[in-house]
Amino acid sequence: MKAIVTVIGKDKPGIIAKVSTALAQNEVNIEDISQTIMQGNFTMLMQCDLTNAKLSLKELKSELLTLGESTGVSIHVQHEEIFNAMHKI
C-alpha cells in the first residue's frame, strides 16, 4: 500500500531528519520526496510504500501526529488513492 505524507510548519533544523527517521524505524520506504521553504514556512510531500511497515496506516497516522505536535509542525498521512482522488482536476 502507498501513502502520502505531508508536513507543514515553520521552518527549523531537523524536520526532515525526524520524519524520515520515524518512517525508517517503522520500515516505511520513502519513494519520492519534495520539499520547499516558502517565506519561512516548510512544506514537504512524500510518497511512501507501507508494504513492509511495522504499523497499520492508522497507527502510523497517530505516531506521526504525535511527532508533529512535539516538533511544531503539522503531519498528515493519507492513503495514496484518497490523496489522488482529492486532487484530481
Q: pLDDT tens, 4-35?
A: 999 999 999 999 999 999 999 999 999 999 99
Q: How confident is the model at residue 79 (pLDDT cuts 50, 70, 90)?
A: confident
Backbone angles phi, psi at 28, to 5 degrees: -95, 125
Count of other CB atoms within 10 angstroms of residue 40? 8
> Which has the closest alpha carbon to 77: 60, 52, 54?
60
User: What pLDDT does 19 receive?
Assistant: 98
Number of domains in the chain: 1
Residue 82 has pLDDT above 90, yes or no: no
Count of other CB atoms within 10 angstroms of residue 19? 23
Domain carrying residue 26: 2-86
pTM here is 0.87
Instruction: Report the percentage of the chain scoring pLDDT > 90.
Output: 87
Domain containing residue 56: CATH number: 3.30.70.260
